[in-house]
A and B are shown apart, each in its own frame.
Chain A
Amino acid sequence: DQQVKQNSPSLSVQEGRISILNCDYTNSMFDYFLWYKKYPAEGPTFLISISSIKDKNEDGRFTVFLNKSAKHLSLHIVPSQPGDSAVYFCAASAERNRDDKIIFGKGTRLHILP
């Protein structure tokens, strides 16, 4: 049973526009959320995170929004650039133990179109 769901396997966005990647989770114990970015033949790279005590976290072109009541989070990339083309994984862990395992979604492949 998937605890972290990314329902869009792929997304295409014009360069310069906003990319919005969505993620839903089912486990109420999750209170720390992360986004990882992955290029082919490389491991996932940490991008941005958010704790459940916040509803928004921003880092440059990347913003993550958290809606706890809906158990939903999203990653906004604006403006989108060609180098953003990659697979994006939504992930979650429990706050109680920050060294705990990370639970990943299946990923969304983002294509930035010229």
Chain B
Amino acid sequence: EAGVTQFPSHSVIEKGQTVTLRCDPISGHDNLYWYRRVMGKEIKFLLHFVKESKQDESGMPNNRFLAERTGGTYSTLKVQPAELEDSGVYFCASSRIQGGVNEQYFGPGTRLTVT
């Protein structure tokens, strides 16, 4: 079974530019989450999709961030325009819909550097 994949692995952009991150969850996983880790800090929740619907977007920092999951498969996270404080590692995770263990499987992350 393939794991969660993320693209690109690393992106360097200038302040004011736009970047789109992509996440492909594990096949059959209806839950998809976006998290972010700013250097040295905790991994912070951004957004949770259940299939194509946004279940919880309480962690989205501001309206410069837009997440989509059309068709309930892969997801994109767009940052427009990017600011210096957006730099960090963006993780995507997925899990099955279930009443048991909330075992989220994480991708390798996209390291975003805004200069």
Contacts and interface: CB of A to CB of B under 8 A. Distances in A.
A52 interface: no
B59 A99 contact: no
B46 to A, nearest CB: 9
A41 B108 contact: yes
A100 B98 CA distance: 11
Interface string B20-39: 00000000000101010000
Contacts of B50: 99
Interface residues of A, number: 24
Interface stretch (A13-21, A43-51, A61-69, A78-86): A43-51
B42 A4 contact: yes
Interface of B: 4, 31, 33, 35, 40-45, 48, 50, 55-56, 59, 91, 93, 95, 97-109
Interface of A: 2, 4, 32, 34, 36, 41-46, 49, 89, 93, 98-107
